Amino acid sequence: MTFPRTALKLALSCTMAAGALFGVTSATAGTSWSIGVSVPGVVVSEPAPVYYEPAPVYSRPAPVYVQPAPPVRYQAPSYAAPAPVYYEPGPSWEERRAERREWRRREWERREYYRRYHEDRD
């Protein structure tokens, strides 16, 4: 008696599905291990490390040292007067006016000299 190929494939796939289903439920045990089939030889890895969170612990805080403030010293106020400054009196407005008139007179003479003796020479 021979089985058709489709029935054989169906039985094989159901067997693999059942094995995967039962394999998943047993994997929740808390430890894990595996065997590598794709590498040459058999590789068995050790289980994953288990971490336990430590219980909370209360301890007294460290003492705090507060340094006292330094003593206050009062001194008599000291004042320093600035150095004396002496100004020389500048020219008065009459002197500046006279200097300005003198400059204008010299400038006028220079221009007149240039106009008389240099402009007509062509």
Instruction: Note the pLDDT tens digit of each residue in 1-49.
Output: 566 778 778 888 888 888 776 766 554 555 555 655 555 556 567 777 7
How confident is the model over 71-117, as pLDDT tens digits?
988 888 888 899 998 888 888 989 999 999 999 999 999 999 888 88
The radius of gyration of the chain from alpha carbons, rounded to an integer in Å, stands at 57
The reported pTM is 0.27
Give the amino acid at 62: A
Rounded distance between C-alpha atoms, residue 104 and residue 101, angstroms: 5
